[in-house]
């Protein structure tokens, strides 16, 4: 039996198809102007990888900011619950999930049964979300996906004094003009952002077993900067951290069918 | 007795020359990377206009973020104190001063004698500072000065839901793509700016009379929206609101010379 989860986010859309309790296929695309379009495109990409058609899907759950515009979803579930559920399925001992997406960041605490007991959320200020790194990459003329590797070469990370995305952008332009090393700037940006996210997570009290989800978790520099800011190790997952919301949605679909 | 004030801000540098109770000249330039250079340049411009030389100035007080680097200044005073001093000197009934500069925003409360009794500053978040308007003007391909006037031609001003400049930018782009007129965009932008500044003003317990200083006070769209959000009239000052910090510095210089 096949079930699916579809996560339509602000910047990317993700889908996961599960077969009898295993991940069969997953797919990630950039979001299109209309959420409905994103949902259709990402699902057809996933179906193609799985070699099945939409009729074969017994149940599909939608999540993400565009979840109410997914034409083929049978039900919807919040992103917070989906990220918690997906992360816990992959790492059963996990008690805290830090999800950094393109336009928001969340810290989610789970109890022993995997229920969400507390969460903190920022979507008001771009600083501390994926948008921060995206704007900085643009200002430095580097690709977002290269930031992680670039930062690993840093020798003397620069201290970034501004928190605001707009002010920080000006700051890094002057740092570049002052001849600072690109890797030192990128590393400094990761530290600044990690500090911001860590403050949010500490606001709901840290748990011991922490993992990180969302597209930003793929950035190795950011991953270790967050470990440093939290003062604890983060458990890494062997599955693409960007699909965890969709995975949680697929798990929700499986529950519904069973 | 001739004195001067020099205000080196992040975006503009201002100088005022004061002869007892009369402003005899003032100048305003864009700040360069070098605060000393900006200060010297603006002072030279103001002196030239007044037909004076540096030796004619009995005392010059410096203020603004670059105040410690002004070569010809013997005394410096904070921007908050200078804005309060300048506004109170022009308008003795002023009790609340809202200064919106290029990269920060301040709300200052004065007592009846013009002493600062409370203030709030935002220089952490670009929203609610001149920077917000600068980003938006650039996005709309307008001069910063045009943004204010356009407001009055709006028919259906847009509403911006987000506070963050980065998110607001994305919101404005969506409206631009649906062919919203520039006037409607400008009015929505000025209103969002005013709403944000008003939060800071309310936090210092606003009291009449209220006046605005700083470059953003020249934007009539923002000033009108502020009056709406705060539900009080904003008293216009009789000189360029952007030079009030420098004027306050000059008044401090005068008081110092008078031994006050």
- Is residue B196 within 8 angstroms of chain A, CB to CB? no
pLDDT digits (tens, 9 = 90+) for B103-114: 999 999 999 999
Give the domain range for residue B43.
Answer: 1-91+238-260
Question: How would residue A147 be classed by pLDDT, with cut points 50, 70 and 90?
Answer: very high
Same domain, B221 and B126: yes
CATH of A1-91+238-258, picked from 3.50.50.60, 3.30.420.40, 3.20.20.70, 1.10.1200.10, is 3.30.420.40
Residue A205 burial class via C-beta count within 10 angstroms: exposed 0-12, middle 13-18, buried 19 and up: exposed
Question: Among B32, B122, B164, B177, which would you mutate to test the A interface (most chain A Cβ atoms within 10 Å of its Cβ)?
Answer: B164
| Coil vs helix vs strand at B106 | strand
Q: What is the pTM of this model?
A: 0.87
Provide the pLDDT for residue B117.
Answer: 95
Is the preceding peptide bond at B209 cis, omega within 30 degrees of 0?
Answer: yes
pLDDT digits (tens, 9 = 90+) for B145-156: 899 999 889 999
Please tell me the CATH code under which domain A93-236 is placed: 3.30.420.40
The count of domains in chain B is 2
Would you call B126 and A166 a contact, using CB atoms and an 8 Å cutoff?
yes
CA-based nearest distance B53→chain A, Å: 35
Same domain, B116 and B206: yes
Would you call B162 and A124 a contact, using CB atoms and an 8 Å cutoff?
yes
Would you call B166 and A131 a contact, using CB atoms and an 8 Å cutoff?
yes
Would you call B131 and A131 a contact, using CB atoms and an 8 Å cutoff?
no
Closest A-chain CA to B135: A166
C-alpha span between B132 and B115 (Å, rounded): 30
Of B103, B132, B164, the CB nearest to A126: B164
Tokens of B57: 């100035």
Tokens of A233: 């190790």
A255 Cβ neighbours under 8 A, 6+ residues apart: none
Q: Give B 144-173 residues with CB within 8 A of chain A.
A: 162-167
C-alpha span between A128 and A197 (Å, rounded): 6
Provide the pLDDT for residue B259.
Answer: 84
% pLDDT > 70, chain B: 100
| Coil vs helix vs strand at A71 | coil
Indicate which CATH number applies to the domain containing B79. Answer: 3.30.420.40
Would you call B165 and A163 a contact, using CB atoms and an 8 Å cutoff?
no
Same domain, B104 and B167: yes
Same domain, B232 and B252: no
CA-based nearest distance A30→chain B, Å: 16
Would you call B165 and A165 a contact, using CB atoms and an 8 Å cutoff?
yes
- Is residue B193 within 8 angstroms of chain A, CB to CB? no
- Across B87-100, average pLDDT: 96
- Is residue A120 within 8 angstroms of chain B, CB to CB? no
Same domain, B37 and B115: no
C-alpha span between B55 and B7 (Å, rounded): 19
C-alpha span between A83 and A106 (Å, rounded): 10
| Coil vs helix vs strand at B154 | coil
> For chain B, how far is it from start to end, CA to CA, in angstroms?
15
Asked if the model's pLDDT at residue B98 lies above 90, the reply is yes
Q: Which regions of chain A carry the CATH code 3.30.420.40?
A: 1-91+238-258, 93-236
Same domain, B58 and B75: yes
Question: How would residue B48 be classed by pLDDT, with cut points 50, 70 and 90?
Answer: very high
Provide the pLDDT for residue A197.
Answer: 96
pLDDT digits (tens, 9 = 90+) for A177-197: 889 999 999 999 999 999 999
Of A103, A131, A164, the CB nearest to B126: A164
**CA B69 from centroid of its chain's CA atoms:** 21
- Is residue B126 within 8 angstroms of chain A, CB to CB? yes
């Amino acid at each position: 039996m096949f079930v699916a989860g579809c996560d339509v986010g602000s910047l990317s859309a993700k889908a996961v198809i599960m077969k009898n309790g295993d991940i069969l296929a997953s797919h990630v695309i950039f979001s299109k102007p209309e959420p409905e379009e994103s949902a259709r495109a990402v699902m057809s990409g996933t179906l193609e990888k799985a070699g099945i058609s939409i009729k074969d899907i017994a149940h599909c759950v939608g999540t993400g900011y565009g979840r109410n515009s997914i034409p083929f979803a049978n039900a919807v579930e919040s992103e917070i619950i989906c990220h918690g559920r997906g992360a816990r399925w992959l790492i059963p001992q996990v008690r805290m999930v830090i999800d950094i997406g393109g336009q928001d960041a969340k810290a989610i605490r789970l109890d022993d049964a995997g229920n969400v007991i507390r969460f903190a959320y920022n979507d008001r200020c771009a600083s501390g979300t994926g948008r921060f790194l995206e704007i900085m990459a643009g200002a430095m003329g580097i690709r977002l996906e290269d930031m992680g590797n670039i930062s690993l070469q840093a020798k003397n990370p620069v201290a970034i004094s501004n928190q605001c995305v707009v002010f920080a952008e000006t700051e890094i332009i002057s740092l570049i003009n002052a001849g600072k090393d690109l890797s030192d700037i990128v590393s400094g940006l990761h530290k600044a952002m990690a500090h911001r996210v860590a403050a949010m997570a500490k606001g709901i009290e840290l748990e011991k077993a922490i993992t990180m989800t969302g597209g930003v978790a793929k950035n190795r520099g950011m991953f270790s900067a967050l470990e440093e800011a939290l003062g604890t190790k983060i458990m890494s997952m062997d599955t693409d951290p960007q699909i965890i919301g969709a995975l949680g949605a697929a798990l929700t679909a499986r529950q519904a069918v069973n | 007795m001739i004195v001067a004030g020099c205000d080196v801000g992040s975006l503009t540098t201002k100088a005022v020359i004061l002869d007892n109770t009369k402003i005899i000249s003032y100048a305003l330039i864009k700040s360069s990377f070098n605060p000393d250079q900006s200060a010297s340049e603006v002072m030279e411009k103001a002196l030239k206009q007044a037909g004076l030389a540096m030796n004619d100035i009995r005392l010059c007080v410096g203020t603004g973020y670059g105040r410690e680097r002004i070569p010809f200044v013997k005394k410096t005073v904070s921007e908050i104190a200078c804005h309060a001093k300048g506004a109170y000197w022009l308008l003795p009934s002023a009790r609340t001063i809202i200064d919106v500069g290029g990269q920060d925003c301040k709300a200052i409360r004065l007592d009846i004698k013009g002493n600062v009794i409370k203030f709030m500053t935002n220089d952490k978040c670009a929203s609610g500072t001149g920077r917000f308007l600068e980003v938006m003007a650039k996005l709309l391909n307008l001069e910063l000065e045009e943004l204010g006037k356009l407001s009055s031609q709006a028919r259906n001003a847009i509403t911006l839901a987000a506070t963050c400049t980065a998110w607001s930018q994305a919101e404005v782009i969506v409206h631009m793509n649906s062919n919203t007129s520039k006037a409607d965009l400008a009015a929505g932008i000025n209103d969002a700016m005013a709403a944000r500044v008003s939060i800071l003003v309310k936090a210092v317990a606003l009291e009449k009379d209220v006046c605005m200083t700083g470059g953003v006070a020249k934007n009539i769209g923002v000033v009108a929206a502020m009056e709406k959000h705060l539900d009080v009239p904003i008293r216009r000052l009789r000189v360029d609101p952007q030079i009030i910090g420098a004027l306050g510095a000059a008044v401090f210089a005068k008081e110092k010379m008078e031994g006050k």
